[in-house]
Structure 1
Amino acid sequence: MSDLSFSLGQGELLGLLGPSGCGKTTTLRMISGLVQATSGKIKVGGQDVTRLPTYRRNMGVMFQSYALFPHMTIAENVAFGLQMRKVKQSDIAKRVESALAMVHLAGVAERKPRELSGGQQQRIALARALVIEPDILLLDEPLSNLDAKLRDSMRNEIREIQQRLRMTTVFVTHDQTEAMAICDRIVVMNRGKLEQIGSPHDIYENPATPMVAEFVGRINRLEGQWRNDGAIAVGDSLIRAKDGSGAGRVLIMIRPHRIDLSASGAESVTSPEENAVTGTVRHVTYVGDTFQYEVATTGGLLHVEKATSSAAEPLQPGDAVTLRWKTQDTLTFSTEVAG
């Protein structure tokens, strides 16, 4: 891990996003005290907790595997953290009942984990993390073991509970859709380093590095050469970007769904705020709600996503086409940092 510094406010949901092995879970485990930080400080509410043991940090942790005790009932699993804190038995029963009601599983207290579905086990793990009334809730890939439909449902449920309780939360995920959907801010990590921190909108629309642009959503890459007039020469075409001008070689990135595609192949630009490039359709993929086109241009391959319509026939391989997109949707990066 390199130097890593960020803060989060009361009631904020902060996402740690990045590929496997980038340091997300290690960072979360350092916050919880399960891994000792070798340098720097971890502060909660102004208090330095860097050297405090896990049980004195008052943090609720929900693990990827849920880590429920198979020999205990659901009520006993949820009560475990309270018992370790020596809470009165009469209070434990009330708090367990309240926590199970919060996750809509009030009727399963006497069952064992093996009797519950994956989604129900996840809710129990969440109840166990919340029942201790933590200062910070730490969620480590909590949705990765669920199927896609249940994952969407549980994602929304976690967000609803977090907002209702105004619970300060750190959410670790490698899934950019999850992070974009529920986080107030996102920390994008790569190889133990912080690439960018910002709102989901900032991360997506104004990526600080090519890694962020590629990790958060699909994107095209082309290389070109800056010209003195501020345009970029790419193959036989000139492309303009929102960031003015530069010098030397430049990496251009455009998101597939921001490109409009039409049959004709006649390159014409009707506005200085619009780019137009001609090409030939190489491949078409139908995925229900969109057609995914692969288009060959003189500057390289571009992928385009176009919404399907029951009344429209898709373009076919070999068709001459024109691709158009707004100048502001052209992202540029120095080839020195492109990697």
Structure 2
Amino acid sequence: MYLTVESLEKRYGHHDPSVSDLSFSLSQGELLGILGPSGCGKTTTLRMISGLVPITSGKIFVAGREVSNLPTYRRNMGVMFQSYALFPHLTIAENIAFGLEMRKLSRAEIGRRVADALAMVQLKAVGERKPRELSGGQQQRVALARALVIEPDILLLDEPLSNLDAKLRDDMRNEIRDIQKRLQMTTVFVTHDQTEAMAICDRIVVMNRGRLEQIGTPLEIYEKPATPMVADFVGRINRLAGTWRTDGALMLGDAVVRGNASGTAGTDAVVMVRPHRITMLAADETPAAGPGRNRLAGVVRDVTFVGDTLQYKVEAAGGLVAVEKTTTSAGNRFNPGDAVSLVWRFDDTLTFPGEVAG
């Protein structure tokens, strides 16, 4: 593995640790996302890897060499901050050249690398401008070029897209991924946006309250979440209150459903299913033939039109169920007060021990 983090911990004074017992590794050329809610410790983790924040305990290795206690300038890591942190009094070319000048490269080498970096981020024509003369997306590209021009061993990105509007954010995340792939640059990408993480990362570390909840590919994180927190954070999902039966099925009120696991009879369970995996039928309609499916009776309480989807809220056993249906799909549209059946596959039912939070 190219970057390895072992039992990393960061503690401030006598407070609970900001990061605790965190371990993960990534291969050379891999893009790893660190995903989680605000305050979960993801930015602190990135700053410990870069050397900007000293670790309390644990170890960090790059290509087999321990860098845990090395200063930032000796780790050869490129960092791109959320705020971009460009020097307003310097030109774009001078901003990009700053790290190279600190490394005392020759004028010719600096000029060559800056020109290559500007070309890579499609900003060849703006080298003599100041940051205030550029758009937010252009400033973001400058910050990326400055991080890459030093030819780092590892690229660290701290929520680099959060200041951009939605359309530009989509464009820039694709551009970052294209450059990262082309350079085969080992990269750690911190974000609270699960869509960004799912779209561009090879694997994702999900953090919560300073600890690792799960690490896996985007597909594994989405389809096989290890905890209710991961299931809830990565995509929309319903949480229903159930109770285990002796045969491994669950009771949701008077309804029986089956899921991906079993538990101790008589104990509480959290039953989770994603809204777009649920088919909604009229109460007397027969579902199409197929693999094993759960069926739950309910009553529509609310309908919201959201662009290309209709979002329903259905009162059913176990709680209020969200259902999403495309506006172009064939079949009925339902109204508040309609009696309906909710149908979904056994395989789409995630089950965890414990009670549904109030």
Question: TM-score of the superposition, structure 1-length normalised?
Answer: 0.96
Q: In structure 2, which of residues 315, 319, 324 is the aligned counterpart of residue 300 of structure 1?
A: 319
**Aligned runs of 1:182-193 on 2, under 5 Å?**
182-193=200-211
* Number of equivalenced pairs: 339
Residue aligning to 2:276:
257
Aligned residues: CA RMSD? 1.7
**Aligned runs of 1:130-149 on 2, under 5 Å?**
130-149=148-167
User: Structure 2: which amino acid aligns with 1:277?
Assistant: L
Residue 42 of structure 1 aligns to a residue whose secondary structure is strand
Q: Is the 8 Å Cα contact of residues 270 and 356 (structure 2) preserved in structure 1? A: no
Residue 328 of structure 1 aligns to a residue whose secondary structure is helix
Report the CA distance between 1:299 and its aligned residue. 2.2
Residue 55 of structure 1 aligns to a residue whose secondary structure is helix
1:15 lines up with 2:9 in the alignment: no
Residue aligning to 2:3:
none
Q: Is the 8 Å Cα contact of residues 210 and 338 (structure 1) preserved in structure 2? A: no
1:249-271 superposed Cα distances (whole Å, 9 cap, x missing partner)? 11100000000011225687966
Query: Structure 1 residues 267, 295: CA separation in 2 closer, same or farther (over 3 Å shift)?
Result: farther
Residue 66 of structure 1 aligns to a residue whose secondary structure is coil
Q: Is the 8 Å Cα contact of residues 203 and 217 (structure 2) preserved in structure 1? A: yes
Report the CA distance between 1:246 and its aligned residue. 4.0
1:319 lines up with 2:334 in the alignment: no
Report the CA distance between 1:298 and its aligned residue. 2.6
Residue 95 of structure 1 aligns to a residue whose secondary structure is helix
Residue aligning to 2:213:
195
Q: In structure 2, which of residues 167, 187, 190 is the aligned counterpart of residue 172 of structure 1?
A: 190
Report the CA distance between 1:245 and its aligned residue. 5.0
Query: Structure 1 residues 268, 106: CA separation in 2 closer, same or farther (over 3 Å shift)?
Result: closer
Report the CA distance between 1:219 and its aligned residue. 0.5
Q: Is the 8 Å Cα contact of residues 291 and 345 (structure 2) preserved in structure 1? A: no
1:287 lines up with 2:306 in the alignment: yes
Residue aligning to 2:241:
223
Q: Is the 8 Å Cα contact of residues 239 and 356 (structure 2) preserved in structure 1? A: no
Residue aligning to 1:331:
350
Residue aligning to 2:14:
none
d(CA) in 1 for partners of 2:217, 2:295? 31
Report the CA distance between 1:226 and its aligned residue. 1.0
Query: Structure 1 residues 325, 26: CA separation in 2 closer, same or farther (over 3 Å shift)?
Result: same
Residue 189 of structure 2 aligns to a residue whose secondary structure is strand
Task: Give 5+ residue unaligned stretches, structure 1.
Answer: none
Report the CA distance between 1:243 and its aligned residue. 2.0
Of 257-266 and 180-189, deviating more is 257-266
Residue 311 of structure 2 aligns to a residue whose secondary structure is strand
Residue 82 of structure 1 aligns to a residue whose secondary structure is helix
Q: Is the 8 Å Cα contact of residues 267 and 278 (structure 1) preserved in structure 2? A: no
1:39 lines up with 2:57 in the alignment: yes
1:207 lines up with 2:240 in the alignment: no
Q: Is the 8 Å Cα contact of residues 269 and 353 (structure 2) preserved in structure 1? A: yes
1:59 lines up with 2:61 in the alignment: no
d(CA) in 1 for partners of 2:319, 2:355? 20
Report the CA distance between 1:236 and its aligned residue. 1.8
**Aligned runs of 1:41-190 on 2, under 5 Å?**
41-190=59-208
Question: TM-score of the superposition, structure 2-length normalised?
Answer: 0.91
Report the CA distance between 1:235 and its aligned residue. 1.0
d(CA) in 2 for partners of 1:240, 1:123? 49
Q: Is the 8 Å Cα contact of residues 253 and 330 (structure 1) preserved in structure 2? A: yes
Residue 127 of structure 1 aligns to a residue whose secondary structure is helix
Q: Is the 8 Å Cα contact of residues 241 and 356 (structure 2) preserved in structure 1? A: no
d(CA) in 2 for partners of 1:87, 1:116? 27
List 4+ stretches of structure 1 deviating above 3 A: 265-272, 310-313, 336-339
Of 96-105 and 312-321, deviating more is 312-321
d(CA) in 1 for partners of 2:263, 2:176? 44
Query: Structure 1 residues 311, 209: CA separation in 2 closer, same or farther (over 3 Å shift)?
Result: closer
Residue 196 of structure 1 aligns to a residue whose secondary structure is strand
d(CA) in 1 for partners of 2:355, 2:33? 28
Task: Give 5+ residue unaligned stretches, structure 2.
Answer: 1-18
Q: In structure 2, which of residues 306, 314, 328 is the aligned counterpart of residue 309 of structure 1?
A: 328
Query: Structure 1 residues 181, 160: CA separation in 2 closer, same or farther (over 3 Å shift)?
Result: same
Query: Structure 1 residues 171, 201: CA separation in 2 closer, same or farther (over 3 Å shift)?
Result: same
Identity %: 71
User: Structure 2: which amino acid aligns with 1:285?
Assistant: T
Report the CA distance between 1:79 and its aligned residue. 0.1
